[in-house]
Amino acid sequence: EADIYQTPRYLVIGTGKKITLECSQTMGHDKMYWYQQDPGMELHLIHYSYGVNSTEKGDLSSESTVSRIRTEHFPLTLESARPSHTSQYLCASRPGSGANVLTFGAGSRLTVL
Amino acid sequence: DAKTTQPTSMDCAEGRAANLPCNHSTISGNEYVYWYRQIHSQGPQYIIHGLKNNETNEMASLIITEDRKSSTLILPHATLRDTAVYYCIVTGNDMRFGAGTRLTVKP
């Protein structure tokens, strides 16, 4: 049973719209991550956070932004969506110590027309 | 940060063992090796991890060389449902996934 939730699962939106992809986890994990993945392609780390008020950019240049005001919540925002943002976005979390196993959400598939 | 190298793709016959190699020659002494797999576009699923000893669980076995520069994930009796992309990562690379190995299990 997944303890990390992403909404929406699917979103079709027009160019120029602002969107926020939600990610919430109930496991009290300190570390959270956003990945971007095109079909059949590599997973790219775009943002991560080690705790409240901590956010870092990943490897893939992304026009999205993130925030971490609460431990359980790590939303990703696109201020002005473009067709190049069409992709799947996966959120994940893991504890700050111990086994450090990543738990993934089901993903948000975004299509920008 | 330690990087990993995996073959792009592999095939395996159903019912046979699938042995997936991973090179992590720059791994540091306190870094773990983790294996995940991704089926279709679902989020990757954790399989197993280890530091220096071999590990086994209900899904797979992990063999780590004595110098820790490489490891092998073993699926002892591959089934068609094991067809997936398998990722080997090390903790020092902070959850960065490479391209992985696309394993195809054939009837």
| pLDDT tens-digit series, residues B68-88 | 999 999 999 999 999 999 999
Distance CA A70, CA A25 (A): 10
> Could you give the C-alpha distances from B47 to A19, A20, A67, A113, B4, in angstroms and in order?
33, 31, 30, 37, 17
User: B101 near B6, Cβ under 8 Å?
Assistant: yes
Nearest CA in chain A to B102: A40
Please tell me the predicted confidence (pLDDT) of residue B94. Answer: 72
- What amino acid is encoded at B18 in this protein? A
Please tell me the predicted confidence (pLDDT) of residue A62. Answer: 76
Please tell me the predicted confidence (pLDDT) of residue A35. Answer: 95
The number of C-beta contacts closer than 8 angstroms across A and B is: 50
Mean pLDDT across A67-92? 96
Residue B104 has pLDDT above 80, yes or no: yes
| pLDDT tens-digit series, residues B3-46 | 899 999 999 999 999 999 999 998 888 889 999 999 988 899 99
Residue A107 sits at the chain B interface (C-beta within 8 Å): yes
Residue A110 has pLDDT above 80, yes or no: yes
Please tell me the predicted confidence (pLDDT) of residue B96. Answer: 85
Which pLDDT band holds residue A83 (cuts at 50, 70, 90)? very high
Which pLDDT band holds residue A71 (cuts at 50, 70, 90)? very high
User: B40 near B65, Cβ under 8 Å?
Assistant: no
Nearest-CB residue to A107 (from B34, B36, B41): B41
Residue B35 sits at the chain A interface (C-beta within 8 Å): no
Q: What mean pLDDT, rounded, does chain A reach?
A: 92
Greatest alpha-carbon span in chain B: 40
